[in-house]
Structure 1
Amino acid sequence: MRVLYGVSPADIPSMDTDRLRGEFLVEDLFAVGEIRFVYTHVDRMILGGAVPAGGTLSFGGGADVGTELFFTAREMGIANLGGAGTVIVDGETFAVANRDVVYVGRGTREVVFASDDAASPARFYMNSVPAGADIASRLITRAQSKPLTLGEDARSNKRTLRMYIHPEVTPSCLLLMGITDPAPNNIWNTMPPHLHERRMEAYCYFDLADEDRVVHLMGRPDSTRHLMVADGNAVLSPAWSIHMGAGTGPYAFVWGMTGENQAYTDVDPVAVKDLK
């Protein structure tokens, strides 16, 4: 498990591109036949990737988080961004198709991953955060998610946001998780840019072609920076940072949040004309 310690917004002006990418961009989550985790001190979220092929992958021990079990004091959302697979949570098997999400509750002892077809493996993306309540694990299919259509074609930001782990769909302690798809021929996401001082967020961009990138904008509104993001990369967005992006081709992203509340609309918008 790699550890990222987080930085102050006052540190950003002194960062070159490599340092900025090292602190906020996770490029190596998905490796065939492995589980990889990154622990960030930004609200203690853990990002993970698992790509089972030709066998199973499993985890559950808590050595890396200082507890008996990984889930002694944590919950998790697992989104499948690849081929069909299964997630087994303490012996309960969930068949997980592309764009389905599994919620894993506090107290779980073991999670096991498998792919239905090693030639087209599942690609499991994980967000885990501290939790103070015991909530049952469950599968949320794409059909069970709650879609919201936002934006407009005229501004190139029309998109469908699907809530999966959210009080209106399935309960959790502090984790929120969903998937957003820009509409065809639309490039911008998350407009208008905004801050949510009471929550941090992580993005995982996926379904990009090899030659395409998302230009992810971050930083304080009066001192923005950018990250060039490839398929399968994840971006950490602290509470003090704006976040929005534009793609050079089709893409989608998983968003995960945690903090003081689960109020998705608890945001402070920033007018584009005020960005610098």
Structure 2
Amino acid sequence: MTMRVLYGVSPNDIPSFDTKRLRAEFLIEGLFAPGNIEFAYTHVDRMVVGAACPAQTPLIFGDGADVGTPLFFTAREMGIANLGDAGRIIVDGQEFALANRDILYVGRGAEQVTLASDDPANPARFYMNSVPAGRDIAHRLITRDEAKPLDLGEDRRSNKRRLRMYIHPEVAPSCLLLMGITDLAPGSIWNTMPPHLHERRMEAYCYFDLAEADRVIHLMGRPDETRNLIVANGDVVISPAWSIHMGAGTGPYAFVWGMTGENQAYTEFDPVPVADLK
């Protein structure tokens, strides 16, 4: 298991960043490493994002050395999304079977998490979001069918999509974590329209199901000082509260969104008209 660290930056720093620096501060690459667990700790609301691709041998974590507590979950909760083939997660002896696009909520106080693939030749791809938590909530599996769907966008604007809420007060409660998956309709390329800001929440985007040759152009930055990141399959973008976030793909894709902050009101955001972007 490895843990890299990212430090938050001020929006006033962005004008001086070249592409290399922008990617280093906001883009996390290489999380989905076969046979390993990879984590990244961001000081933006202290979210940890991670991924695990178990093959022949299950992968285990739970020690809290990298987050400064006796156990990883001493003061944290987590959502684990399976973006690959069938797999299993064991939390302190309690086993959960995850199909593609199922999400497991792991509550504060868990001691050990074991991640395994049903078929090593067709492994699970577990993607993780973890944030600080102030209360104990029972572990819970939320299947794709149990998630709450919202159909958004329009064909004529190429932004039609289905957003599914998994870890959300209307589906499965948590302390501060929100997590879900958005799939674009065939022929649509734009996500998260209109662009907006969450002044009281940050967000992490994990783009997946991209072909090897395709990319998503993820737009970020202040509305009057935008920048872009070219994102490949499995890459994660950290989106601070001061940054817009939207993207367009060169081919089909989906993304996992995870949020944390002062509240869990999904609809509390400030839209930014596209015509106002610079």
Question: Tell me, what secondary structure is at the counterpart of 1:120?
Answer: coil
The counterpart of 1:123, out of the listed 125, 129, 132, is 125
Name the CA distance, whole Å, in 2 between partners of 1:123 and 1:112: 13
Name the CA distance, whole Å, in 1 between partners of 2:192 and 2:75: 31
Q: Does 1:261 align with 2:263?
A: yes
Could you say which residue in structure 2 is the equivalent of 1:196? 198
Name the CA distance, whole Å, in 1 between partners of 2:101 and 2:267: 23
Q: Does 1:180 align with 2:182?
A: yes
Question: Tell me, what secondary structure is at the counterpart of 2:206?
Answer: strand
Question: Tell me, what secondary structure is at the counterpart of 1:109?
Answer: coil
The counterpart of 2:240, out of the listed 238, 241, 244, is 238
CA RMSD, 1 decimal: 0.3
* Residue identity opposite 1:136 in structure 2: A
TM (norm. structure 2) is 0.99
Within-5 A mapping of 1:52-91: 52-91=54-93
Could you say which residue in structure 2 is the equivalent of 1:24? 26
* Residue identity opposite 2:256 in structure 1: V
* Residue identity opposite 2:199 in structure 1: E
Name the CA distance, whole Å, in 2 between partners of 1:59 and 1:215: 33
Name the CA distance, whole Å, in 1 between partners of 2:226 and 2:156: 25
Name the CA distance, whole Å, in 2 between partners of 1:238 and 1:218: 9
Could you say which residue in structure 1 is the equivalent of 2:47? 45
- Number of equivalent positions: 276
Can you list the C-alpha shifts for 1:172-191, whole angstroms capped at 9, x where unaligned?
00000000011000000000
Name the CA distance, whole Å, in 1 between partners of 2:274 and 2:37: 39
Name the CA distance, whole Å, in 2 between partners of 1:178 and 1:267: 17
Name the CA distance, whole Å, in 2 between partners of 1:12 and 1:81: 32
Name the CA distance, whole Å, in 1 between partners of 2:68 and 2:218: 33
Name the CA distance, whole Å, in 2 between partners of 1:214 and 1:65: 31
Q: Does 1:271 align with 2:273?
A: yes
Could you say which residue in structure 1 is the equivalent of 2:141? 139
TM (norm. structure 1) is 1.00
Name the CA distance, whole Å, in 2 between partners of 1:228 and 1:264: 26
* Residue identity opposite 1:98 in structure 2: N
Question: Tell me, what secondary structure is at the counterpart of 2:220?
Answer: strand
Name the CA distance, whole Å, in 1 between partners of 2:174 and 2:89: 18
Any unmatched runs of 5+ in structure 2? Answer: none
Name the CA distance, whole Å, in 2 between partners of 1:22 and 1:185: 31
* Residue identity opposite 2:111 in structure 1: R
Name the CA distance, whole Å, in 1 between partners of 2:245 and 2:160: 17
Identity %: 78
State the shift of 1:260 in Å: 0.1
The counterpart of 1:215, out of the listed 192, 201, 217, is 217
Name the CA distance, whole Å, in 2 between partners of 1:170 and 1:60: 23
Name the CA distance, whole Å, in 2 between partners of 1:228 and 1:66: 33
Question: Tell me, what secondary structure is at the counterpart of 1:273?
Answer: helix
State the shift of 1:55 in Å: 1.1
